[in-house]
Amino acid sequence: MTEAATVDARPVRRAARITPVSIFLWALRIAALAIILYGSYLSISSGRLSAAQWRDLFVFGISTGSVYALIALGYTMVYGVLRFINFAHGEVFMVGAMMAFYVANALATTTLWTSSPVVSLLIVLVAAMATSTSVAVIVERIAYRPLRGAPRLIPLITSIGASFTIQYLVRGLVGPSTKAFPRMEQLRGTTEILGVVILKSQVVVIVAALVMMAGLYLFVERTRTGKSMRAVSEDPETAALMGIDVDRTIVKVFAIGGAMAGVAGALWGLVFPSLNFFSGFLPGIKAFTSAVLGGIGNIVGAMLGGVSLGIFESVGPSLVLAGYEIPAFSQLKDVVAYAALVLVLIFRPTGILGERLAQERT
């Protein structure tokens, strides 16, 4: 009886059903792989780029993707707790980047900028984090908390309205002109790491992003606050019954996501030294794409998705599009990035790590 019960308790896998949709998806997967592989073969065999140039594209993709990953953490943390997409998060990043510009611009007129570059960068970083954190918390309190419990579409529409509101508030405060980040002499030029020549600014961006992402992961996994966040993410009603202050935990989620966006804003000036009131839109969309690519709601997935997206949009045009001799292929990096998202979702609809997360929760 015990053996029979054990046998009956085992999950039975259903046989895969062949449908017209599944046939179409497999045909699409095969066609996409064939196009990518053939384009890559043509591009590499042509010898258009040297090994050093391929390496530079790869490193640039990692540095850009690290910034996307930091922004994506805010999207994925808010979705993990509230189950809605905060489309105002790109503007939270932009506000942090704008504050980083003004602080850096003020420091550039002092001797501290040249005599103590590490201290100067830390000041810029802290100012950007504080600004983005404050904006994220204010948006949560004014725009989202009154809608707690409302249908998901309402907070989603509200987030879009909050995005435009922040954009044009910043435009009214600082004007529509493009700002140029001051350059730091100590970060000009290249350095060699393990025989690889890398721009100094890219080293700073990658190292800072890795430190912040590792710190966030340990914070969520090891601290009492991190455990509260995970509990609220799993079941807010049960978490409240266990004594967890759900509203305070949600504020902390927004604050941490805002702080990561602030770090990304400060690092953005090292990669792309120009900024205006609209600079949060496209990185915000890219970061959202990164979160979906890695598995929305999964912190590690957001990190992996951001770096992957940066590499796709940096290397992809030269690797695939150049092989087909598409004109101005370097200007199509956004197309390659979103095409990569579609391809990944065709093969793994839940994202790179989304399925594993779903299995753990069940």
* Dihedral of alpha carbons 267, 270, 276, 280, sign: negative
What's the CATH architecture for 50-361? Orthogonal Bundle (1.10)
**Torsion sign (Cα): 298, 304, 310, 316:** negative
pLDDT over 90 (residue 345): no
Q: What is the pLDDT of residues 127-178, one digit of tens each?
A: 999 999 999 999 999 999 998 888 888 998 999 999 999 999 999 999 999 9
Residue 14 binned pLDDT confidence (cut-offs 50, 70, 90): low
- What pLDDT, on the 0 to 100 scale, is given for residue 250? 93
pLDDT tens column, 97-126: 999 999 999 999 998 998 898 999 999 999
Token pair recorded at residue 279:
């600079």
**DSSP 8-state class, residue 150:** S
Where exactly are the structural domains of the chain?
50-361
Sign of the CA dihedral running 125, 128, 131, 134: negative
What is the rounded end-to-end Cα distance, in angstroms, of the chain? 27
HSE-CB of 234 using CA atoms within 13 angstroms: 15
Taking only the tens place, the pLDDT of each residue in 221-261 is 999 999 999 999 888 889 998 889 999 999 999 999 999 99
Beta strands in 207-271 (DSSP E): none
Q: What is the largest CA-CA distance in the chain?
A: 83
- Mean pLDDT of all residues belonging to the chain: 87
3-state secondary structure of 269: helix
Tell me the percentage of the chain whose pLDDT exceeds 70. Answer: 93
Contact 84, 277 (CB under 8 A): no
| CA 260 vs CA 63, 101, 110, 241, 303: distances in Å | 15, 17, 27, 30, 12
State the DSSP H helix or E strand holding residue 302, giving kind and residue range, or none if neither.
helix 299-316
d(Cα 245, Cα 161) in Å, to the nearest integer?
Answer: 28
Indicate the pTM of the whole model.
Answer: 0.87
Report the alpha-carbon distance of residue 319 to residue 322 in Å, rounded: 6
Residue 101, pLDDT score: 94
Closest to 122 in 3D by CA, of 257, 219, 275, 262: 262
CB-based contact 181:273 (threshold 8 Å): yes
Dist. CA 302–CA 69, nearest whole Å = 6
Tokens standing for residue 347: 């093969």
